[in-house]
Amino acid sequence: MDAPDLGFGLDDLSIVDSIALLVPFDGRFEFDTTTNIAKFGRKVVDSSKIDDARLIVEPTFRSRNISLVFGVLGEIRLLLPLRKGERDVVRDDVRDGVVAMLERSQIVIPNNDPYDPKGKFARSGSPTNVTREEAIALVRHPPLPGERLPIVI
């Protein structure tokens, strides 16, 4: 079975840092709520170890495409397209599983500034990162073109 064409190509993946293995979403997803194990195709990740989430925005001529990249910082990242222009591209069964997985995650905006121990300015150092709550909201209701995003682009 071929992966569905969602309008996202390999060029879209180049804006994510290459420190971690990036796994594009191929439509296959399973999440076991008893073990907290998520399977994306052949890749397996423990949802309690997911600590990083970023919003990718691809402006188009008349609209924008948005994706969520999440995973274990420095190890594995999973790319989930959320919206292609006006079209929400996440199936309901996948959406429910990803939301359950993100609810069990440890996503925070990284703060690497020793002079900012409370992380007050962490978002300025990681402008595309989102919190766990923001990631869940994005998956539940991907913003339409023109709607506000939780990041500044």
Instruction: Please write the tens of the pLDDT for every residue from 47-99.
Output: 999 999 999 999 888 889 999 999 888 787 888 999 999 999 998 988 999 99
Q: What whole-number distance in Å separates Cα of residue 33 and Cα of residue 112?
A: 32
Q: What whole-number distance in Å separates Cα of residue 85 and Cα of residue 68?
A: 15
Single pTM value for the model:
0.81
* Mean pLDDT computed over 30-45: 88
Q: What residue has token string 């420190």?
A: 19
Percent of the chain with pLDDT over 90: 43
Please classify residue 64 by burial: count the beta carbons closer than 10 Å to its beta carbon, then call 0-12 exposed, 13-18 middle and 19+ buried. middle
Whether 11 has a pLDDT exceeding 60, the answer reads no
